[in-house]
Structure 1
Amino acid sequence: MAGKIPRYFIDDLIARTDIVDLIDSYVTLKKAGKNYQACCPFHSEKSPSFSVSQEKQFYHCFGCGVSGNVISFLMEYEKLEFVDAVEELASSLHLEIPREQGSYSKGPEISLDQKKSDYELMLQTARYFGHQLKHHKNSKQVIEYIKGRGLSGQTVQKYLIGYAPSEWDGLCALFARNPAQKQQLVDLKLATKKESGGSFDFFRDRLMFPIKDKRGRVVAFGGRIIPNDENEKNNGPKYLNSPETRVFHKGFELYGLYEAKQAHKKLEQILIVEGYMDVVALSEQGIEYAVASLGTATTAEHMHTLFRTTERVICCYDGDRAGRDAAWRALENALPYLADGKELKFAFLPDGEDPDTLVQKEGRDDFETRLKQSHDFSKVLFEKLAIECDLTSDAGKSKILSLALPLIDTVKSDFYQENLLEQLARLIGRTKEQLSQKLNTPRQQKSLQKKFKVTPMRRAIGLLIQYPKLALEIPHLPELAELGLPGLELFQNLQSLSLKNKDITTGQVLELYREMPEYNSLIKLATWQHEIDDEKLEAEFQNTFKFIEDQCLNHRAETLLIKDKTQGLTSGERQEYQLLLSAMPNSKKEQSNN
């Protein structure tokens, strides 16, 4: 990636995008008082509990609790990463994204026009391969091979499967009409430069599988050799994937995910397999929820994407050692994303079988029965560890403890973490409570702050983030932050933001804090139901601030009093103390004098 997206551009993007217009293009909104409402697009419900505020540029579902701004909505609804959501918004407004150059910059800036041209070329290449499948001199042989693999024309069309011709320069001859086009083909790894000059097609005489990103854009290709004696000798590996390019990063993309999302309004589960032929063969049998990693192990980024898309992930691997090793890598990468309500299972196939061959032998029903009998992730985890450790010895028990605890510590779900600790405790003859104390982030510690009590400070912050214009109704006293009252620095920062930009909205404020520790608390306060009438908001906010201001003065007076009794005050501090006393109510003065 060329560089970080500047903050000013993200702020401007949110300001230019009306959240009602954006969400209404996905979900039909109806006016309801000041706000708009609909049935929530993120969970099933019969009566609408999804509310969108045009004033705040913010949405919230009172049923499932999701909330956020325009970027958050695109991330959740389209299952996009942050940068993809920003790019989607920028594209809809015909804006080119600037990039900050810095030490993290890995390459030259890529313009929006260049990206559009790249994606268009990839799509045209996929169409070219599709055309060759029907019209090339080898098409009869290739189509016979496709039919022999049990694939129908409907499946071929759904996945845009095509054929890369056997000639060395079919693609280059069509698309490389000038030096810039030749270079673009090379940059996108559709062509390879010759040492003597010129270039030749990267894929030749292969069955082609276009790889789409989460937004349905063709970003790469997978090619399978058409089996015959000549090919097997001279044309390289059986499977060949596009190398990484400026539009393709294999550790982030999953073959078939876009098609699976298109086939289901909501994906109840996703089956992850090892190859694109497995994905299309399963789809042919009506199992339209399979995806595949692309010539690499299932990465943490893959797992993050999968658990953002569905509640249940089933990893399907061969039952041999290589399959078990692949399952273990997937398990390690999945643990940090196992939140409450998420499910991870593993299905191991008989020796010599893969999903492609097995589903054709058994059919859909029997294959899905296998999936229902798949192993829970905890069984796979402890079976693997038990093989490596002799649990009849103290040394073996010590070893499994050292291996298991760091893995358990990465699990976010309290329920899953407790369950894993219980299983580990039974294996080594300890109690769950003993093991919990050994975690870096004990379960008890995770449970702190779950009850969100609305203190005066939180009330002030909540009102300010929901109605940033209230910042104008109180004095700006940055010196109060020096008194150290919890939450006051955050309140002062929010007030400063609102004073600098008098038109700032809740959605814009939250975006500024997306990557900060305060974000989750601010989201809760942005959705807090304060039940204060509109005409009383200003007075309520002023009174709350006055209470906080008094707290600060009392805190400072108590600090000076303690210092007076222990160390003595300077003349300046004594004068400050007297001024503070004169500003206090009589009851507070008596407490301080005592």
Structure 2
Amino acid sequence: MSLPPGFLDELQSRLSLSQVVGRKVMWDNRKSNPAKGDMWAPCPFHQEKTASFHVDDRKGFYYCFGCHAKGDAIGFVRETENVDFIEAVKILAAEAGMAVPERDPQAQAKADRRGQLTEVMEQAAQYFGLHLRSGAGAAARDYLKGRRLSDETLARFGIGFAPDGWQGLWDHLTGKGVSPDLILACGLARESTKGGKPYDVFRNRIMFPIRDARGRCIAFGGRAMDPNDNAKYLNSPETELFDKSRTLYNLGPAREAAGKGGPLIVAEGYMDVIALVAAGFEAAVAPLGTAVTEHQVQLMWRIAEEPVIMLDGDRAGLGAAYRLVELALPLLEAGRSLRFALMPEGQDPDDLLRAEGAGAVQARIDAALPLVRLLWQRETEGRDFDTPERKAALERLCHEKTALIRDPALRGYYERALKELRWQLFNPRRTAPRREPMDGKGRGKGKWAPPETARAATRNSALVSADSAQAIRMREEVILATILSCPEVAEEFEPEIERLRCADPRNAGLRAAILRHAGAGAETLRAQIAVEMGEDSLEKLLSLPHVAIAPPVRHPGDAERATLTLREEFAKLAAGAGIEAELREAVEDITGLADETMTWRLREAAEARNRAIRNQQEDRAEYELSENGARLKREERAEFAALLDRLGMGKPPGG
């Protein structure tokens, strides 16, 4: 089966090799560098414990230094899924949301035509370059010199000039034997509506070649030299070579520069990109239209996990940034986001470079806002929240925006971040001052000092940690052990499992393994955990006293017991989190004006706490601690004691 030209290039540009490989391996976080696409793991093709399997996410290749396996995403799927080439392409296309074209007997003819079109585009680029250096391009050269572009920069970007004539390029190409239909198909000329000879699309314009990731010229952008021209910038029309919604200006060189550690900067236009590159910011790209598209965002993330959006510092630029926030929310994933470097009002990156130099641009990059802060700015800028109704409207709006995020774990973090920002807005924290103590000479009386911060010993003491972090960890361990004893219930509780905090690295590893392999059954799940985390990882968990007495652990495979236990434990975790949040917010309000609303909230928080305590007391009513610290069920202990009495053996152990 022959695939259309460019299909495989687009397929692999839409996918991240680390995501494809990540389904089969456990990354070594100590050795990997996700920001640079440099990932390491134990090889999936041979048994080993060290991370010798390397994935270069930017180049799209993997290599094992142990067994010397190597290839790309298609090769990896072929080897791990044991499928042929076309089947591997279909698997990856389904993941990328692309339809595999049906068998095309004329695929070679299409490939040949695409090659012919790119040859015509290269001839046009040479024609424009020659005219920039000719007498006709004198005004264009003066303009570019005024923009401080050196000859080296002009040559690097292939900048040229389209002379002011109706058929200059047309006559040049046809004179070299280029077929008229190829010139029209490239979008370099248009048919005359008056029945005359086709005319050039670009006239009296500075020309910027637009190249694909492989460096082939696929389109042009032209800046008008005439200030009265209706279109200051004009792009090639969409053709067989060019889809502006899936292309970024300077894509190939920027991808290479970002691979060397440079920040990926997304500017607004050609001149901004060229100025940034000339100033040393070589990983700079620009969209080819008025708005960034979903495909372009995905293309940026193939290069860098957090591109820096650097749009113009005017209302239009800020509006474009706000629209990009709305577009990006449903696309966000853990580790993939956007940051926004806001320009001074009325300036673009080129203006800032000329006025203040590269240091000013670097400062803007360093101070770039995360997406959540720009979302907050968009929803609060220029608005008052002086009434309960306005505050409630903002809260509802925040919930509507976070609901767009598909990743449940990431959505939870956004909800908490926006909630914290609302409290900072509605209830600015006031720290109660304290009076400085007097020394032996009476000094210090009447002065106020800031409150002392908690000492490290206090923060780490059992009094602080036992009732919160330790209790949460113990409940998490019961939850994980319950699922390991009955994996078939995991699907029902998948959202809750994803939201587990798992501050303990071992618990976090178990949670990740459960989410990956729970559907494969108990034996497979345990085998995978043994491979990924060590043979004794399960034994350590199941031997914990509070885990060993859990009913699902004592009765493995009992789905009903497991479901009831998970519902109860997740409910208690949620209740505990709710109590902490309510008490924390109430304490913040105490420093402000105490009113009936605050006392009502304190009363509600206290009642929630009492309900949680009652649940814990119910646990203690059913279980009690023996001398060795193990929890014993009261009913079973009473039956055992009665049996001993009948046998004349006295009290049971621990009685």
**TM-score, reference length from structure 2:** 0.53
3-state SS of paired residue (2:324): helix
Give the distance between the partners of 1:205 and 1:382, measured in 2 at CA: 44
Segments of 5+ residues of structure 1 without an aligned counterpart are: 20-26, 88-96, 102-107, 431-440, 463-523, 532-594
Moved more, 443-452 or 110-119: 443-452
- 1:403 corresponding residue in structure 2: 397
Give the distance between the partners of 2:523 and 2:98, measured in 1 at CA: 32
Give the distance between the partners of 2:243 and 2:58, measured in 1 at CA: 31
3-state SS of paired residue (1:277): helix
1:418 aligns with 2:412: yes
Change (3 A) 1:112 1:408: same
- 2:245 corresponding residue in structure 1: 251
Amino acid at match of 2:496: Q
Residue 161 of structure 1 deviates from its aligned partner by 1.0
3-state SS of paired residue (2:345): coil
Match for residue 180 of structure 2 among 167, 179, 182: 182
- 1:372 corresponding residue in structure 2: 366
1:207 aligns with 2:206: yes
Residue 443 of structure 1 deviates from its aligned partner by 5.6
3-state SS of paired residue (1:163): strand
Change (3 A) 1:379 1:529: closer
1:133 aligns with 2:132: yes
3-state SS of paired residue (1:291): strand
3-state SS of paired residue (1:125): helix
1:242 aligns with 2:242: no
Is this contact kept in 2: 1:35–1:51, CA < 8 A?
no
Give the distance between the partners of 1:374 and 1:427, measured in 2 at CA: 18
3-state SS of paired residue (1:211): strand
Is this contact kept in 2: 1:39–1:49, CA < 8 A?
no
Change (3 A) 1:446 1:280: same
- 2:605 corresponding residue in structure 1: none
Segments of 5+ residues of structure 2 without an aligned counterpart are: 18-37, 427-492, 501-510, 535-655
Residue 279 of structure 1 deviates from its aligned partner by 0.4
| Aligned residue runs from structure 1 range 266-285, under 5 A | 266-285=260-279
Residue 47 of structure 1 deviates from its aligned partner by 9.4
Change (3 A) 1:381 1:49: farther
Moved more, 444-453 or 138-147: 444-453
Change (3 A) 1:151 1:179: closer
1:451 aligns with 2:513: yes
Change (3 A) 1:425 1:70: farther
C-alpha RMSD of the superposition: 5.0
3-state SS of paired residue (1:318): coil
Identity of matched residues, %: 29
Amino acid at match of 2:311: Y
**TM-score, reference length from structure 1:** 0.58
- 2:375 corresponding residue in structure 1: 381
Match for residue 148 of structure 2 among 150, 154, 157: 150
Amino acid at match of 2:282: E
| Aligned residue runs from structure 1 range 5-16, under 5 A | none
Match for residue 191 of structure 1 among 154, 171, 189: 189
**Greater RCO structure (CA 8 Å; 6+ sep):** 1
1:40 aligns with 2:55: yes
Give the distance between the partners of 2:146 and 2:161, measured in 1 at CA: 16
* Cα deviation code 1:77-118 (max 9, x no counterpart): xxx97879x99xxxxxxxxx84599xxxxxx99822221111
- 2:317 corresponding residue in structure 1: 323
Is this contact kept in 2: 1:307–1:337, CA < 8 A?
no
Residue 343 of structure 1 deviates from its aligned partner by 4.1
3-state SS of paired residue (2:275): helix
Change (3 A) 1:422 1:51: farther
Is this contact kept in 1: 2:63–2:70, CA < 8 A?
no
Residue 272 of structure 1 deviates from its aligned partner by 0.9
Give the distance between the partners of 1:221 and 1:149, measured in 2 at CA: 20
Is this contact kept in 1: 2:259–2:303, CA < 8 A?
no
Give the distance between the partners of 2:75 and 2:522, measured in 1 at CA: 19
Amino acid at match of 2:212: D
Amino acid at match of 2:112: D
Is this contact kept in 2: 1:187–1:245, CA < 8 A?
yes
* Cα deviation code 1:158-197 (max 9, x no counterpart): 2111111222212101223599822222232210111223
Give the distance between the partners of 2:44 and 2:300, measured in 1 at CA: 37
Amino acid at match of 2:417: Q
Give the distance between the partners of 1:360 and 1:69, measured in 2 at CA: 55
Residue 288 of structure 1 deviates from its aligned partner by 0.8
- 1:52 corresponding residue in structure 2: 69
Give the distance between the partners of 1:161 and 1:289, measured in 2 at CA: 19
- 2:285 corresponding residue in structure 1: 291
Residue 456 of structure 1 deviates from its aligned partner by 9.8
Give the distance between the partners of 2:380 and 2:196, measured in 1 at CA: 57
Give the distance between the partners of 2:207 and 2:84, measured in 1 at CA: 39
3-state SS of paired residue (1:214): coil
* Cα deviation code 1:216-272 (max 9, x no counterpart): 22111111123xxxx223x43221111222221111111112221234534542111
- 2:630 corresponding residue in structure 1: none
Give the distance between the partners of 2:173 and 2:55, measured in 1 at CA: 46
| Aligned residue runs from structure 1 range 210-225, under 5 A | 210-225=209-224
Residue 68 of structure 1 deviates from its aligned partner by 11
Give the distance between the partners of 1:351 and 1:43, measured in 2 at CA: 35
Query: Which of 1 and 2 has greater Rg?
Result: 2
Is this contact kept in 1: 2:258–2:264, CA < 8 A?
no
Is this contact kept in 2: 1:267–1:309, CA < 8 A?
no
Is this contact kept in 1: 2:262–2:282, CA < 8 A?
no
3-state SS of paired residue (2:307): strand
Change (3 A) 1:442 1:461: closer
| Aligned residue runs from structure 1 range 471-550, under 5 A | none
Is this contact kept in 2: 1:40–1:50, CA < 8 A?
no
Give the distance between the partners of 1:262 and 1:302, measured in 2 at CA: 17
Change (3 A) 1:401 1:185: farther
3-state SS of paired residue (2:419): helix
Give the distance between the partners of 1:69 and 1:39, measured in 2 at CA: 23
Amino acid at match of 1:304: Q
Residue 419 of structure 1 deviates from its aligned partner by 3.0
Amino acid at match of 1:329: R
3-state SS of paired residue (1:222): strand
Give the distance between the partners of 1:458 and 1:393, measured in 2 at CA: 54
3-state SS of paired residue (1:176): helix
